Amino acid sequence: MKILVAVKRVVDYNVKVRVKSDNSGVDIANVKMSMNPFDEIAVEEAVRLKEAGVATEIVVVSAGPTQCQETLRTALAIGADRAILVETESELQPLAVAKLLKALVDKEQAQMMILGKQAIDDDSNQTGQMLASLLDIPQGTFASQVVVTDGKASVTREVDGGLETLALTLPAVITTDLRLNEPRYVTLPNIMKAKKKVIDIVKPEDLGVDISPRLKTIKVEEPPKRSAGVMVADVAALIEKLKNEAKVI
């Protein structure tokens, strides 16, 4: 079984972004970029499926500027076999990414697609579901466990209030939640080995996909600030404030 994993290069989760003074967006010049954390979990899951003998090949894909090759190298160092970069400097929205991925899935004939449930920059939580829809195949989103047997995937999902389990006929799309696995640390020998692996570069037009954005960002602003409150001396003072000032208990 061939698995296709999609990874996104995003501002590192430890960075607190700043809104640009002209309100055109957030300032990402000279900030640390990393692989989207949920995508790291997706790569790890694919590698574990290969180690378990379920998967035979892992193709990792990213879409964006040329620097996404660094993100792909990280995925190759975790254990993906080869990589494809859909290179573009243009803004990519989830629907466009889903279309690019669909074109690659059609070409690669992958049986399972694993994506992070959401990217921590635009927080959209759309691409996996859109890809499944475009491919007319089932989806198991927000997965905390994936078991593959006899052409079916049993996917346990994190839902409001608990867990639910679905049986999906492959091919299918899985999106990862945080408890699916704990990604391994990348070792130096594996980083060296990853340098020898192949990254193919294609352009959106090679895939015949129109990536023009559908949503226009009019402005980006700081959220309203919450003013800092007061420090209380002890538990008694806290209860007094909650009862008489805030009146919430």
Partner 1 sequence: MAALVIAEHDNLSLKAATLNAVAAALQCSPEVDILVAGNQSDAAAQAAAQIAGVRKVIQIDAPNLADQLAEPLAAQILALASSYTHVLAPATANGKNVLPRVAAKLDVAQLSDVTKVVSPDTFDRPIYAGNAIATVQSSDPIKIITVRTTGFDPVSAAGGSAAIEKHAVAADAGKSAFVGRELTKSDRPELTAAKIIVSGGRGLGSGEKYQELIAPLADKLGAALGASRAAVDAGYVPNDYQVGQTGKIVAPQLYVAVGISGAIQHLAGMKDSKVIVAINKDPEAPIFSVADYGLVADLFTAVPELTKALG
Interacting residues with partner 1 between 87 and 116 (CB under 8 A)? 93-95, 98
Nearest to 47, CA basis, from 176, 196, 200: 176
How far is Cα 17 from Cα 65, in angstroms, rounded to an integer? Answer: 20
Cis check for the bond before 65: say yes or no (omega within 30 of 0).
Answer: no
Nearest to 49, CA basis, from 131, 145, 138: 145
Q: Binding to partner 1 (CB under 8 A): which residues in 128-187?
A: 128-134, 136-142, 144, 154, 157-169, 172, 177-179
How far is Cα 59 from Cα 118, in angstroms, rounded to an integer? Answer: 20
**Of the residues 54, 82, 121, 184, which one makes contact with partner 1 according to CB under 8 A:** 121
**Of the residues 195, 208, 221, 244, which one makes contact with partner 1 according to CB under 8 A:** 221
Q: How far is residue 87 CA from its own chain's centroid?
A: 18
Does residue 120 touch partner 1 according to CB under 8 A?
yes
Does residue 228 touch partner 1 according to CB under 8 A?
yes
**Contact between 116 and 38 (Cβ < 8 Å):** yes
Q: Please say which residue, 79 or 94, places its beta carbon nearer to partner 1.
A: 94
φ, ψ at 54 (rounded to 5°): -85, -40
Does residue 215 touch partner 1 according to CB under 8 A?
yes
Q: Binding to partner 1 (CB under 8 A): which residues in 2-31?
A: 11, 13, 16-17, 19, 26
Q: Please say which residue, 62 or 126, places its beta carbon nearer to partner 1.
A: 126
Distance of closest approach, residue 148 Cβ to partner 1, in angstroms: 14
Q: Please say which residue, 17 or 52, places its beta carbon nearer to partner 1.
A: 17
**Of the residues 189, 195, 236, 244, which one makes contact with partner 1 according to CB under 8 A:** 236
**Of the residues 6, 35, 38, 85, which one makes contact with partner 1 according to CB under 8 A:** 38
Does residue 206 touch partner 1 according to CB under 8 A?
no
Does residue 201 touch partner 1 according to CB under 8 A?
no
Does residue 222 touch partner 1 according to CB under 8 A?
yes
At a CB cut-off of 8 Å and minimum separation 6, what does 85 contact? 61, 62, 63, 64, 66, 68, 69, 72, 199, 200, 201, 202
H/E stretch holding 151: none
